[in-house]
Amino acid sequence: MRLQIYFAGSIRGTAPDRDTYGALIDELTRHGTVLTEHVRLEQDQHDRLPDSEIHARQMRWLRAADVVVAEVTAPSLGVGYEIAWAEASDKPVLCLYKPSSDRSLSAMIDGSPNVTVVRYESADEAIDAVRGFLSAAMT
């Protein structure tokens, strides 16, 4: 059975680095099924669904996921919500964060003993963190 992976990243939250999202999603697809491939899209490329349907669909995928990988550099209410839900459901959660001088990561993510936070500089470092996290999650 292929690993079911939920990738979380900012959509209506702060503008993210979509190239990094794309590189992470490409890597994740090498290890399993990425339920949320569409997070790589620009806002105007997303399905025009009512928010209630978006929420129901995302929660269905979150329930089905074996692991959650969240890119948390760009602050997003939705990503924080997904991380909290996954954590409360005892799913392994990896949060990838690229430090910058103008903003610190939320203490509710950085301080949580139940999520793995990895700081990275280059996309290659983030990809290495994904590989390490997934191999640990699968053992």
Q: C-alpha distances in angstroms, 31 versus 14, 77, 82, 88, 124?
A: 28, 27, 21, 24, 16
Q: Please give the backbone phi and psi of residue 101, each rounded to the nearest 5 degrees, phi first.
A: -75, -20
Is residue 63 a contact residue for ligand 6IA (CB under 6 A)? no
Report the alpha-carbon distance of residue 125 to residue 139 in Å, rounded. Answer: 22
**Residue 96 Cβ vs ligand 6IA, minimum distance, rounded to whole Å:** 13
Q: Does 79 bind ligand 6IA (CB under 6 A)?
A: yes
Q: Judged by CB, which is closer to ligand 6IA: 79, or 129?
A: 79
Rounded least distance, CB 139 to ligand 6IA, Å: 26
Task: Give the whole-angstrom CA distance, residue 124 versus residue 115.
Answer: 21
**Closest approach of ligand 6IA to the CB of residue 72, in Å:** 10
Q: Which residues bind ligand 6IA (CB under 6 A)?
A: 8-13, 36, 38-39, 43, 46, 54, 58, 76-79, 82
